[in-house]
Amino acid sequence: MSSDANPDASTDPLLFGQRMQMLRTRRGMSRTVLAGLVGRSPSWVKQVEGGRLQTPKLSMILRLAEALRVGNLSELTGAERSRPTELFIGPGHRRLPEVAAVINAYPLGPATTSAVSSPRHLRARLDRAWRARHSAPNHREVVGSLLPELIRDAQLAARQADSGPQRRAAQAVLAEVYSLAQFFLAYQPESAMLWRVAERGMVAAQESEDPHTIGVSAWLMAQAHRDTGPSHYEAADQVTMETLRYLEPLLPDASHEVLAITGALRFEAGYTAARRGDAGTAWRFWDAARVTADRLPFSYFHPVTSFGRTIMGAHAVTVAVELHAGGESVRQARQSDTFTIPSRPRSARHRIEKARGYQLDGQPEAAVATLEKAYEAAPETIRYNGYARRIVLEESEARPLHRRRRAADLGVRMGILAV
């Protein structure tokens, strides 16, 4: 859910291959790994970096940008070939300044004596916020409007708690408010703030001593590490596995919430393995997550992770896509259509994963058609998703006119292409 700090790409003149090598090494990525991610050989990567091959076409530049997790194509191509296109860091939302202001505030005086919401009242407000997020097509707008007051009130409740149980309950709510903030901040140009919120959420979760709260904060911390790039995969695994070791002894008598966060963490382990290209481990953890999901009621849907029985088909698509198995991605996508995901943003995210599978399988028109459905479900999900942006930009350069027009129309609606 975050992006690595942008490398200094201002030391012009650098050749394309030199920039590519600099970005690759700063991400801790081998030539073999990068080659696998873009469907080429390690020798091809070496020749491009060494300047023995010409700068690739736009479609390959976009794939390299996706694999290297660059924010703007100018990081890879140089300022002289810059396009106003951010990939894994989307545009700043209009609510970002007010959310950032309250996150950056550090009250240093004594806690105010004014009335403070109880943890129980804050929990009810937070539950309403999660429901609003799942039902709203423009979910960042909804969450961004609610977060400032929620953060201030949860911080105040934690400071004013005057007993151990009340303090732990307040810290649990505060940790989950920070979790909601991470969903808002993801893929926006404030990656440092996202890390700050993730760390605060982990501290508050530990203070709460609540297994479910600890699991949720760890789940989001693992995502932050994994999405930073290959050099953080080990840290993502460490957070995931340590938390699973903590939760698994509790499972025989666990609540639905603890079961769900355990299943979500098991899938996260598989997700990271898939990013590494370890198919056996990825599917083993997916299967462990499915076994956990089967212990939940069919209609159960975890409000933070979206985990439940209906999400496992979508998770299977994600594993296949991350393993770059186009045919398997499409097969899993067809099977996953049996279920309905009760969340607009999560449903849109699933359609984006399906679109990635169609493109891997050589079906670009199906990919764009699926992204159109994702846009209908939740415009703010697709607008901030780097994979969706890359597919649309690549198709806007396709040779057949009808494909270019369809992709360009979607790109205009997403705000990444000019009219």
What pLDDT shows up at residue 115?
A: 67
Sign of the CA dihedral with 79 first, then 389, 64, and 30 last = positive
What pLDDT is attached to residue 1? 47
Residue pair 75/6 in contact by the 8 Å Cβ criterion: yes
Q: What is the pLDDT of residues 218-266, one digit of tens each?
A: 999 999 999 888 889 999 999 999 999 999 999 999 999 999 999 999 9
Buried b / exposed e along 222-231 (16+ C-beta atoms within 10 A) = bbbbbbbbbe
Q: Which residue has the higher pLDDT, 116 or 109?
A: 116
Nearest to 14 by CA among 1, 23, 6, 5: 23
Distance between CA 49 and CA 41 in Å, rounded? Answer: 13
Contact 195, 2 (CB under 8 A): yes
Same domain? 99 vs 177:
yes
Question: Is 292 a domain residue?
Answer: no
Tell me: do 115 and 138 sit in the same domain.
yes
Q: Per the structure block, which two tokens stand in for 369?
A: 């058609």
Say what the pLDDT of residue 100 is. 95
> What pLDDT is attached to residue 8?
40
Considering just the CA atoms, what is the radius of gyration of the chain in Å? 22
The count of domains in the chain is: 2
296 within a domain of the structure (yes/no) = no
Domain membership flag for residue 293: no
Cα angle at 69 between 66 and 72, to 5 degrees? 85
Answer yes or no: is 181 within a domain: yes
Percent of the chain with pLDDT over 70: 91
pLDDT of residue 38: 86
Which of 218, 240, 229, 155 has the alpha carbon at shortest distance from 191? Answer: 229
Which pLDDT does position 243 carry in this prediction?
98
- DSSP codes, 342-391: S-HHHHHHHHHHHHHHHHHTT-HHHHHHHHHHHHHH-HHHHHT-HHHHHH
Range of the domain at 24: 16-81
Helix (H) or strand (E) holding 192: helix 191-208
Considering the domain architecture, whether residues 148 and 190 belong to the same structural domain is answered as: yes
- What sections of 11-163 are H helices per DSSP? 16-26, 31-38, 42-49, 58-68, 74-77, 96-104, 119-135, 139-160
Query: Is 259 inside any structural domain?
Result: no
| Domain membership flag for residue 104 | yes
CA distance 127 to 135: 13
pLDDT tens-digit readout, 110-163: 555 566 789 999 999 999 999 999 999 999 999 999 999 999 999 999 998 889
Question: What integer best gives the mean pLDDT of the chain?
Answer: 90
Contacting residues for 242 by C-beta, under 8 A, at least 6 apart: 218
Q: Based on the domain organization, do 147 and 98 belong to the same domain?
A: yes
Q: Are 415 and 91 in contact (CB under 8 A)?
A: yes
User: Measured between alpha carbons, how far is 310 from 90 in angstroms, rounded to an integer?
Assistant: 29
Whether residue 337 is predicted with pLDDT greater than 90 in this model: the reply is no
Give yes or no: residues 38 and 108 share one domain.
no
Domain co-membership, 75 together with 150: no
Are 77 and 105 in the same domain?
Answer: no
Report the pLDDT value the prediction gives residue 411, as an integer from 0 to 100: 94
Of the three residues 81, 114, 137, the one that is the final residue of a domain is 81
Burial category of 59 from C-beta neighbours within 10 Å (exposed 0-12, middle 13-18, buried 19 and up): middle
- Picking from 6-20, 146-160, 300-314, 315-329, which range would have the lowest pLDDT averaged per residue? 6-20
DSSP three-state, residue 194: helix
Same domain, 193 and 134: yes
**Mean pLDDT calculated for residue range 95-117:** 79
DSSP string, 319-348: HHHHTT-HHHHHHHHHHHTTS--S-HHHHH
CA count, 13 A, side-chain hemisphere, 393? 28
Tell me what pLDDT residue 338 has.
53
Is the same domain home to 23 and 69?
A: yes
Taking residues 77-103, what's their average pLDDT?
76
Q: How confident is the model at residue 109 (pLDDT cuts 50, 70, 90)?
A: low
Asked if 97 and 25 sit in the same domain, the reply is: no
> Which pLDDT does position 281 carry in this prediction?
98
Residue 124 belongs to some domain of the structure: yes
Within a domain: 188: yes
CB 6 within 8 A of CB 71: yes
What pLDDT does residue 5 have?
Answer: 36
> Would the pLDDT of 61 be above 60?
yes
Q: Residue 314 above 60 pLDDT?
A: yes
Which pLDDT does position 134 carry in this prediction?
97
Start-to-end CA span in the chain (Å): 30
Are 73 and 98 in the same domain? no
Amino acid at 398: A
CATH (domain of 29): 1.10.260.40
Residues 109 and 199 grouped into a single domain: yes
Q: 340-373: per-residue pLDDT in tens?
A: 899 999 999 999 999 999 999 999 999 999 999 9
Q: What band does 4 get if pLDDT is binned at 50, 70 and 90?
A: very low
Continuous segment of H or E residues that includes residue 181? helix 164-185
